[in-house]
């Protein structure tokens, strides 16, 4: 996650709670949430540090209420945390009260960053500031520890926490069930070929195992060794070996085997229920996320794979599958289906303020005819009536008020808002069979969850399953019962609440988590989605209880391993002393410079070293630095400031450059210059549906004063010392979503136009355009990329602008006044090795590209010339991870020059492509 630069409109006003421990910054009107976060943070800081360390550093924490992403992060550069306050519409990470869970989890990251400034990592802080420390500590301490330790604390200090949820372990348990015991390096680095769980569950398991066997402060000691780089290479693994006799790979294998023993014990206590796999086997990771019955033996489901983006499909009784349509990007992929109609939500964005996000409702029939029901709404989890005239949705408003709203399908208008005096958060509302009421899961501020029925006529609420710590998943409602999944036992399974007697029975006892169930009443069977190593898989079973014994959902049937005692004192959320912290306004331009890091960048041909600054709300960006351009050989000192808090970005910068130079046919020109810039820029986001669309326009007024100029013996006439010019640019990107394995989008365009023109009588101008077209190749994961580029500049040469043209591959930079280039590329994957060595280099994918470039350069000064540059060749790339952490792609290129290079008469060129900037972007 990363903070959006200028993501909020200036109309959003901010308040702050400012203490010596933290500054909590929140939108006006969110005082209660700000106070709650402050209470938790201060309590943890004072009482819950034993297992991480005692170092102190104040942190800024920003609470965002405009976004619909349910997430948060802590970062260095500058040191801050940001909470996205919309709770997750799913129950996959539990029923914990969202601000509480974020506070406990993210403040653990704060304490980690505070206490990891030790030894060599501390020296990296001195050398590079916050980002220097971040680079050192992220290489020393694996990502699984950062998140696993934070999940440990949310489990230890919260009412629930992911360490108590069976579904949290579905990914790693699926690998175990299917005998996929991958090497540690593969689990760290991921795969384009096989399913690899993210680092959260692995990190929690390792954290749990270390604490259980070696004590509460075990990981504090290990990470202290690591960030100090004791042993230099593999510092965390070295510390583990010193303290346990096992290096990290063996330590993980031992941890995995212990958890597998827990899972075997669970299966012995509750034998597996039989089921028949419905979805076909596949060599590609494929998930059937949600499923609905559409008559005897017919099903509608959402399917995605590593080769194809998600789509709705219908499968008939004969097993024939046909594509209905592909939904657009969303914040939650849930959908509902009834009587030939699908309803789901898609994400939309304010065109300028990226933190203003919306979730709209869309409707389609099985022929793929689509319509939009709502606009600029914040709705989730829609369900539709049998006649298709009404939709029920869960609304998550910016002020953290939640409700169920009944919508008219024709107009999108709200017909009814159901009362919610208890301020519950609703999950997965479903119409009852007679459509007189709505069945939904609800969560309260005590992190408990219940299943309720709310009547549409008067808003009255009946509690079907009382509040408790068991999650209640997606309901499937029939005339007689509500079927749902729950974390009642050690694996999420299907349960049913019967209306007649109010009893709950278990319907499946599967070895791994079940996400959702659909009922075929005519065939008296159920189909459900269960997670396996190849993704969510469809299984069918008779519609009959697993056991005739009614269950008491007030009890906890989970295994002991889901009730860990981390010796941190237990949940703090229900015994937190409430303090009334003073509040005051937080101005938009507070601490505008806020320098935090000094870092290099390598973006060939430009190499820079800069002092960076950002304010906490990320509306200002400051840099002061040195730059070297390899093409021209110039050196530059510069400073710049950008303010993004208004509709246009405001930019100002200045620079002094020595040894600017360029090669022309008439000779070599070099000069020094001072320059200044005043500019405006506006980024737009028009993303919708399957496409990400981004437009950026900018215009800068530049002042240039050349202090010296040296020319070769062939003198150039009419050279002006001072230049003022306007530099304008436009960039537009339109790209269709792509799957995991696809190298590039199957359909997209990228257009860039740059135009500079002098504002004085000294004529000096340059036009540069580039268009890239992305098309599908002959196979699903192949891509065709076509490119056209054109650059033209004046012949007066009063001023020469920086060159951004992409030349024909293999050639030296030519002399010209006008040039164009056409290029064709065919990109394709070659292999997915999933192989590495020594925890240093891991190869995820090998891919190739064959290309052809055709370019023509014109020199209009007499004598006029025209020179052709055409080349063909191939490129081989390796997509890798360095040190199990840093994504890095590099490769080689061979170019056969169909026209000899005029500068050195070369006919073949071999290049090694090592884009070092990737490391610094990370």
Task: Supply the pLDDT for residue 799.
Answer: 78
Task: Supply the pLDDT for residue 665.
Answer: 59
599: left (phi over 0), alpha (psi -120 to 50) or beta: beta
Task: Supply the pLDDT for residue 922.
Answer: 60
Contact predicate 817/858, CB 8 Å: yes
List of domains in the chain: 14-269+564-579 (1.10.390), 276-562 (2.120.10.30), 643-650+661-806 (no CATH), 807-812+827-922 (no CATH)
Distance of CA 445 to CAs 72, 147, 222, 636, Å?
Answer: 19, 24, 36, 56
Two structure tokens written together for 243:
């303290």
Render pLDDT for 315-336 as a digit per residue (tens, 0 to 9): 999 999 999 999 999 999 999 9
Residue among 189, 325, 275 nearest 690 (CA): 325
Contact predicate 101/154, CB 8 Å: yes
Return d(Cα 787, Cα 824) in angstroms, integer: 6
Query: Which residues is 436 bridged to in the sheet?
Result: none
Render pLDDT for 404-433 as a digit per residue (tens, 0 to 9): 999 999 999 999 999 999 999 999 999 999
Element (H, E) at 288: strand 286-293
- Residues in the chain with pLDDT < 70? 1-2, 662-667, 710-720, 862, 920-922
Three-state secondary structure string covering 695-720: EEEEEEEEEEEEEEEEECCCCCCCCC
Task: Supply the pLDDT for residue 722.
Answer: 81
Question: What b-and-e string marks burial along 760-790, b requiring 16 or more CB atoms within 10 Å of the CB?
Answer: eebebbbbbbbebebebbeeebbbbbebebb
């Amino acid at each position: 996650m990363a903070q959006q630069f200028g993501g909020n409109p200036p109309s959003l006003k901010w308040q702050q709670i400012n203490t010596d421990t933290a500054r909590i910054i929140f939108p006006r009107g969110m005082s209660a949430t700000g106070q709650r976060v402050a209470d938790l943070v201060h309590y943890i800081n004072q009482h819950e540090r034993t297992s991480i360390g005692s170092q102190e550093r104040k942190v800024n924490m920003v609470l965002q209420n405009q976004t619909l992403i349910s997430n948060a992060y802590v970062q260095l550069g500058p040191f801050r945390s940001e909470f996205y306050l919309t709770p997750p519409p799913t129950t996959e990470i539990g029923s914990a009260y969202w601000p509480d869970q974020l506070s406990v989890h993210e403040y653990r990251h704060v304490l980690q960053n505070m206490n990891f400034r030790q030894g060599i990592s501390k020296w990296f802080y001195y050398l590079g500031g916050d980002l220097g420390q971040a680079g050192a500590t992220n290489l020393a301490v694996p990502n699984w520890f950062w998140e696993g330790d934070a999940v440990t604390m949310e489990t230890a200090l919260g009412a629930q926490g992911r360490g108590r949820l069976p579904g949290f372990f579905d990914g790693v348990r699926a690998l175990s069930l299917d005998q996929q015991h991958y090497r540690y390096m593969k689990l760290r680095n991921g795969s384009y070929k096989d399913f690899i769980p993210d680092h959260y569950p692995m990190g929690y398991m390792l954290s749990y195992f270390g604490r259980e066997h070696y004590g509460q402060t075990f990981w504090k000691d290990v990470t202290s060794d690591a960030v100090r780089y004791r042993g230099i290479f593999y510092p965390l693994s070295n510390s583990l070996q010193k303290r346990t006799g096992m290096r990290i790979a063996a330590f993980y294998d031992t941890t995995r085997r212990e958890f597998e023993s827990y899972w075997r014990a669970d299966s012995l206590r509750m034998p597996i229920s039989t089921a028949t796999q419905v979805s076909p086997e596949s060599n590609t990771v494929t998930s059937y996320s949600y499923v609905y019955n559409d008559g005897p033996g017919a099903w509608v489901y959402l399917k995605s794979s590593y080769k194809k983006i998600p789509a709705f499909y219908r499968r008939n009784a004969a097993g024939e599958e046909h594509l209905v349509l592909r939904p657009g990007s969303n914040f939650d992929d849930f959908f509902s289906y009834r009587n030939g109609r699908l309803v789901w939500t898609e994400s939309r964005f304010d065109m300028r303020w990226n933190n203003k996000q919306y979730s709209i409702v869309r409707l389609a029939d099985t022929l793929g005819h689509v319509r939009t029901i709502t606009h600029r709404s914040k709705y989730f989890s829609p369900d539709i009536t049998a006649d298709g005239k009404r939709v029920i949705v869960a609304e998550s408003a910016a002020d953290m008020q939640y409700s169920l709203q009944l919508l008219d399908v024709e107009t999108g208008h709200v017909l009814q808002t159901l009362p919610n005096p208890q301020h519950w958060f609703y999950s997965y509302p479903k119409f009852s069979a007679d459509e007189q009421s709505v069945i939904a899961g609800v969560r309260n501020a005590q992190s408990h969850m219940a299943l309720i029925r709310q009547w549409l006529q008067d808003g009255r609420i009946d509690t079907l399953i009382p509040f408790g710590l068991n999650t209640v998943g997606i309901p499937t409602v029939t005339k007689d019962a509500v079927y749902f999944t729950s974390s009642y036992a050690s694996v999420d399974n299907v349960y049913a609440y019967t209306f007649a007697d109010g009893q709950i029975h278990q319907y499946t006892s599967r070895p791994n988590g079940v996400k959702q169930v659909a009922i075929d009443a005519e065939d008296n069977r159920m189909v459900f989605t269960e997670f396996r190593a190849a993704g969510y898989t469809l299984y069918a079973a008779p519609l009959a209880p697993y056991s005739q014994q009614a269950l008491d959902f007030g009890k906890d049937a989970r295994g002991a391993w889901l009730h860990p005692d981390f010796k941190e004192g237990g949940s703090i959320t229900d015994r937190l002393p409430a303090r009334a912290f003073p509040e005051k306004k937080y101005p938009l331009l507070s601490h505008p410079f806020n320098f935090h890091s000094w870092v290099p960048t390598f973006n060939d041909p430009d190499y820079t070293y800069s002092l960076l600054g950002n304010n906490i709300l990320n509306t200002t960006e400051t840099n002061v630095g040195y730059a070297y351009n390899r093409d021209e050989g110039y050196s530059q000192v510069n400073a710049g400031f950008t303010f993004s808090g208004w509709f246009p970005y405001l930019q100002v910068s200045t620079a002094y450059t020595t040894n600017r130079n360029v090669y022309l046919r008439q000779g070599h020109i070099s000069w020094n210059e001072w320059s200044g810039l005043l500019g405006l820029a506006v980024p737009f986001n028009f993303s919708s549906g399957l496409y990400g669309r981004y437009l950026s326009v900018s215009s800068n007024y530049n002042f240039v004063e050349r202090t010296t100029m040296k020319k070769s013996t062939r003198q150039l006439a009419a050279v002006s010392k001072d230049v003022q010019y306007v530099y304008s640019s436009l960039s537009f990107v339109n790209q269709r979503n792509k799957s995991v394995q696809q190298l590039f989008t199957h359909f997209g365009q990228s257009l860039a136009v740059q135009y500079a023109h002098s504002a004085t009588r000294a004529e000096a101008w340059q036009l540069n355009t580039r268009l890239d077209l992305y098309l599908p190749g002959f196979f699903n994961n192949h891509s065709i990329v076509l490119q056209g580029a054109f650059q033209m500049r004046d012949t007066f040469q009063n001023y020469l602008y920086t060159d951004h043209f992409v030349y024909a591959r293999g050639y030296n930079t030519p002399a010209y006044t006008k040039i164009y280039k056409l290029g064709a590329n065919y990109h394709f994957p070659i292999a997915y090795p999933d192989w590495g060595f020594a925890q240093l280099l891991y190869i995820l994918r090998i891919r190739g590209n064959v290309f052809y470039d055709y370019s023509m350069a014109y020199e209009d000064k007499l004598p006029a010339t025209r020179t052709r540059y055409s080349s063909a060749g191939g490129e081989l790339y390796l997509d890798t991870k360095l040190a199990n952490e840093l994504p890095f792609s590099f490769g080689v290129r061979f170019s056969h020059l169909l026209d000899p290079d005029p500068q050195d008469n070369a006919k073949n060129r071999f290049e090694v492509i090592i884009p070092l900037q990737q490391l610094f972007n990370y």
